[in-house]
Amino acid sequence: MDYISAGDIEKYSYCPLSWWLSRNEKHAENEGVKKHREISKGAADMKKKYSQMKEFESMAIYFSVGATIIALVGISFFYTSLILSRTFIIFSILWLGFSVYLLWKSEKSVSVDRKRTERIMVSTSAAATTLSIFSVTFLLPPNYTLGYVLEVLSLLWLVFATYFLYMAMKKDIQYNEIKRKLQLPDGEIIYIDDLQKSPILKSEKYKIWGRPDLLIKKGEDYIPVEIKTGRVPRGPHFSHIMQLTAYMLLVEENYKAPPYGLLKYGPVIYKIDYEEDLKNLMLQKVKEMREALKTGEVHRNHNKIGKCLHCSRRDICPERLA
């Protein structure tokens, strides 16, 4: 069984005969395609800026935490205390025990968020190590030279943390500037319609494929976004809803079922809920398309003159109304 694209589902839902006549067309470079390419390029730049911003934020956190730890270790070289040493030993054992518990929980439970648990485990292990260092340094005699060296080193790390924080803020500003210019919805962009870089999303069950213009992540949800250029309609077109529904099905099979998808016409965005009735209606269209491909029997499904007037295939259509 051959795959059917989400784009063909959109064409068929608009007019079966128009879809049929478009099958052997060569896709010309028109204004809509150019705008889509510009949006894809801008979205890719947004994705890059977002990734850089997160990297710089992480570096800023690492260096600021490192600076704090180094400063505290440096201060510990100015004092000696058996009580503090024993206190830090107790705390380090407790933190180490907690990290071992998290490791055990991560291995035993399949429902736990492994990535989050691993981050906490690393943090608790680092805390246990730091407290262990304190327990040793408070037993040693004061070493003012080493203490001063560590304090200077902590200031240097703080300078690096400030630099990375500045770079993160800079990338955040650039990210939001592109977002405002393209008028894109909120969320982390994780997929962009790019013929060279983006993989095709496929449904093995229904033999459907496609590339949504965007796939954004909001919380734990993956939301497909279909962008339409040209004039802004009073409401979302049925054919576009069918295309978006196909993308929602593809997201369901490749990621997880989305709660909704977004149709964007210029600055206007319509939210289309992913419902079973809508999914079944789209699959019914796919079934009709397969039947048409088998029989070769295809006809116009409307009596709207406006549709025919705006159809790019009206010159070769045997059933055109205008």
Q: What is the pLDDT of residues 99-130, one digit of tens each?
A: 777 666 665 554 445 556 666 766 777 777 77
If 0-12 CB within 10 Å is exposed, 13-18 middle and 19+ buried, where does residue 108 land?
Answer: exposed
Nearest Cα residue to 127 out of 157, 164, 102: 102
More confident site: 53 or 44: 53
Q: Which of 48-62, 121-135, 232-246, 272-286 has the lowest mean pLDDT?
A: 121-135
**Which whole number is the average pLDDT over 126-151?**
80
Q: What is the mean pLDDT of the chain?
A: 84
Where residue 31 falls among pLDDT bands split at 50, 70, 90? low
Q: How far apart are CA 76 and CA 141, in angstroms?
A: 10
pLDDT at position 103: 66
pLDDT at position 109: 53
pLDDT at position 111: 46
DSSP string of 25-43, one letter each residue: ------HHHHHHHHHHHHH
Q: pTM of the predicted model, to two decimals?
A: 0.71
CA Rg value for the chain = 29
DSSP state of 314: G
Q: How far apart are CA 211 and CA 206, in angstroms?
A: 16
Phi, psi for 4 (deg, rounded to 5): -115, 135
Pairing of strands 268-273, 260-265: antiparallel
The residue to which tokens 């159809």 are assigned: 311
pLDDT at position 118: 62
Range list of H helices, 77-143: 82-108, 114-137
> Of all residues in the chain, what percent carry a pLDDT higher than 70?
88
**Which whole number is the average pLDDT over 161-188?**
88
Strand arrangement of the beta sheet that strand 208-210 belongs to: 4-5, 208-210, 201-203
Q: How far apart are CA 80 and CA 110, in angstroms?
A: 46
Classify domain 4-25+186-316 at the CATH class level. Answer: alpha beta
> Of all residues in the chain, what percent carry a pLDDT higher than 90?
37
Q: How far apart are CA 189 and CA 225, in angstroms?
A: 10
Q: How far apart are CA 148 and CA 128, in angstroms?
A: 24
Q: Which of 103-107, 132-136, 249-253 has the lowest mean pLDDT?
A: 103-107
Where exactly does CATH 3.90.320.10 map onto the chain? 4-25+186-316
Q: How far apart are CA 188 and CA 62, in angstroms?
A: 23
3-state DSSP helix/strand/coil percent for the chain, to nearest 5? 60, 10, 25
